[in-house]
Amino acid sequence: MAASKEQFNKDGFLILKNFFSKEEINKIYTEARQLFAIQIKRVVGIDVDINDRDTFEKAMFDYFQADFTSFVNTGKQVQHLISMHRLGTDERIVNLLKEIGYEFPTIAVRPAMQFNSRYLSKGGSHWKLGAHQDWRTGQGSLDSVVLWFPLVDCDADLGALQIIPASHTVGLLQADTSGYTGSIQDALPEEDYVQTSFEVGDLLIFSAFLVHRSGDNITQNIRWSIQLRYNNMAEPTFQERGFPMPYIYKPEENLVTPDFPKKEQLEQLFA
Ligand SMILES: O=C(O)CCC(=O)C(=O)O
């Protein structure tokens, strides 16, 4: 693995084939679809087979149109799957981080699952991100990294990430921070981008300074993927900056469902 560290430092990324088993990735993918299927049944009124990909994804689009608020909430609940969080603390990941030089790895931000499709977007930026460096939003250790992997086989047509090898050493580029990751303002040469491609189980690990962007999903399908992010608490500049944590996580101030629950519902539940 020493050679991989050298390669990582040089290129700013590694693609590791079969890093995970297909079964463990499929379990997370299944649970995510199961959550959506529960709400699809309630809102759209159909008992959809999650393994019938096109039919299920069409139902996802119908659900998105029928009840946007509930769709967004379900999308947020999906971010809390135990299976996904468990994978994020997996020994194989901790060992990989150590192999690229981490002394004291921590989770930089909660794991994120994306289900990207032009049909699941009201604005531009949530299904397709322009060129950016994740460090601008994470602001963690200088050696902070992103782990990106799809839950389905993912090639150029499904919009797998496009990366600029070795761009992790060009510095923090100017970016418009109005989107949630911020798009780099300077035009970067098209020919510098490399299109990635994955089978289920493959993993891309990249420096938070590596310039990357979403590929172009030209299919009708959803591109399901997970991003995990880590910091190295032993990195001196992170320590000197007092371990900044720029992510904000806070509860709603008001009851989401007014007049809920009734006392009787609790009595019945705990009877
Ligand atoms: O998955 C994508 O298309 C973009 C993800 C990404 O760039 C990121 O999470 O930083």
pLDDT tens for 51-76 read 999 999 999 999 999 999 999 999 99
Give the Cα separation of 210 and 145 in Å (integer). 9
Residue nearest to atom 1 of ligand 1 (CA): 214
- Segments of the chain assigned E as strands: 13-16, 105-116, 145-150, 162-163, 175-176, 183-184, 194-195, 203-207, 212-213, 223-232
Domain that holds residue 239: 2-269
**CA-to-CA separations, 39 to 48, 60, 64, 147, in angstroms, rounded:** 10, 10, 10, 29
- Is the pLDDT assigned to residue 228 strictly greater than 60? yes
Confidence of residue 141 (pLDDT cuts 50, 70, 90): very high
Residue nearest to atom 2 of ligand 1 (CA): 214
For residue 225 and ligand 1, the question of a CB distance below 6 A is answered with yes
Residue nearest to atom 3 of ligand 1 (CA): 214
Block residue for tokens 């992170």: 238
Give the Cα separation of 48 and 66 in Å (integer). 16
Query: Ligand 1 centre and the CA of 129: distance in Å?
Result: 6
Q: What is the pLDDT of residue 3?
A: 58
| Phi, psi angles (nearest 5°) of residue 112 | -130, 135
- Segments of 183-257 assigned E as strands: 183-184, 194-195, 203-207, 212-213, 223-232
User: Nearest-CA neighbor of 68 among 123, 31, 114?
Assistant: 123
For residue 114 and ligand 1, the question of a CB distance below 6 A is answered with yes
3-state secondary structure of 262: coil
> What's the CATH number where 130 sits?
2.60.120.620
Residue nearest to atom 7 of ligand 1 (CA): 213
Confidence of residue 77 (pLDDT cuts 50, 70, 90): very high
**What's the structural domain count of the chain?**
1
- Is the pLDDT assigned to residue 2 strictly greater than 60? no
For residue 129 and ligand 1, the question of a CB distance below 6 A is answered with yes
For residue 227 and ligand 1, the question of a CB distance below 6 A is answered with yes
